[in-house]
Structure 1
């Protein structure tokens, strides 16, 4: 693979046959740190056959530790963006935008035979998440018994994701026995300030029964709901007084 030490931005668009972005086969873990060490912005647009961003599990090696902005748009064959161990390779990711990826079921998902056990997935510098027009997305973290931590996330926008009920994976039994909430104790985002939820047909509950397990409302400034037909309640007065 060509080593480009000075490249900070990469855009790949309108390449119909393309199935993967980075071919990491043959690279040792030590070599991975030398690949695109300054890449800050990755923008993937209209890649209808894209199956994966890279073709090898890096087992936690910080290969893309400069990447700050990731944008996926019209990658209609992409079922997920990362497996859990790959997500751990993005410690400086600040903004994530995923739009019009028709087959995406989860942003982070487990694949049989890949990855390793990860108890907690952390994006320490992620402050903005935008998810739009993802008709098959069911959750952000499509992997059971694991946690998602975004300690400085301040902006969250989710629109036109009709199948999404929760940010974390929910079993069919959990769905049948109760009403899953968008935020669960497995999602930690204590600094959330701004949230927009629009056209989410399956969403009926935003917070767990005790939202203080997930976040405080000290930083909350703006919340907008638009055409969320199944939503039963926004806030309880007691939460806002805490």
Structure 2
């Protein structure tokens, strides 16, 4: 399959990228990027790309683009099933942990979306700066956060879910099975859970929530 950007394309100073109405686009990036390409990308918007199946498909893309990306918006992509594909990511191979600057995630109208993160990053990717998450009209999405990510959202301020197939907000991972998990959201000021007919619980396992010192 042809990619929009291959290993010979470089945008070392690009800060904002919008991709819309490319009906034949299946893959945005090649699995290897040109050195320093997209290293300053702050905002990415992808919409109305009917054949696109994922946004970040592999290790090399995650390692380079997520170092600077702050805002990600994805809307009306009928075939998209996942956002962050981290199955290949292995900290033993890279010898590094990627601390992302990711702050805002907006997802709307992805009827086939099955997951935002397909696998536990096991500490190799962090999302400590995430402040706002808004997801709507994603009927196939069963959960929003992996437990390893949900435990570390200390900067989260807004969480909005609307018309989704979500059964649980945070899903249990292999490492959390049988353990008591602690969740803390000291910065949340806006929480909206609307029209979620399949929602059963916040987290399916044993857990506890903590309030901040000012509460």
Same fold (TM over 0.5): yes
1:205 paired to 2:168:
yes
1:71 paired to 2:45:
yes
Distance 1:210 1:191, change over 3 A: farther
| Structure 2, unaligned runs of 5 or more | 173-178
Alpha-carbon distance, 1:196 to partner? 0.3
1:108 paired to 2:91:
no
Runs of 4+ in 1 over 3 A off after TM superposition: 115-123, 143-148, 207-211
Q: 1:183 & 1:104 partners in 2: Cα distance?
A: 19
Candidates 130, 149, 154, aligned match of 2:126: 149
More strand by share: 2
1:50 paired to 2:25:
yes
Candidates 13, 16, 27, aligned match of 1:38: 13
Residue in structure 2 matched with residue 8 of structure 1 by the alignment? none
Alpha-carbon distance, 1:239 to partner? 2.3
Query: Is contact 2:86-2:117 (8 Å) kept?
Result: no
| Structure 1, unaligned runs of 5 or more | 1-18, 26-31, 168-181
1:24 paired to 2:7:
yes
Residue in structure 2 matched with residue 195 of structure 1 by the alignment? 159
Q: 2:89 & 2:181 partners in 1: Cα distance?
A: 30
Distance 1:239 1:144, change over 3 A: closer
SS of the residue corresponding to residue 189 of structure 1 reads coil
Distance 1:218 1:129, change over 3 A: same
Q: 1:125 & 1:110 partners in 2: Cα distance?
A: 17
Q: How does 1:78-117 map to 2 (within 5 A)?
A: 78-82=52-56, 83-90=58-65, 91-109=67-85, 117=90
Candidates 217, 226, 231, aligned match of 2:185: 217
Alpha-carbon distance, 1:200 to partner? 1.1
Q: 1:116 & 1:185 partners in 2: Cα distance?
A: 15
Alpha-carbon distance, 1:121 to partner? 7.4
Cα RMSD over matched residues?
3.0
Query: Is contact 1:94-1:126 (8 Å) kept?
Result: yes
Query: Is contact 1:149-1:189 (8 Å) kept?
Result: no
Q: 1:140 & 1:200 partners in 2: Cα distance?
A: 13
SS of the residue corresponding to residue 88 of structure 1 reads helix
TM-score (norm 1): 0.69
1:231 paired to 2:204:
no
Q: 2:140 & 2:44 partners in 1: Cα distance?
A: 23
Alpha-carbon distance, 1:140 to partner? 1.1
Candidates 125, 137, 143, aligned match of 1:160: 137
Residue in structure 2 matched with residue 124 of structure 1 by the alignment? 100
Alpha-carbon distance, 1:220 to partner? 1.1
1:134 paired to 2:121:
no
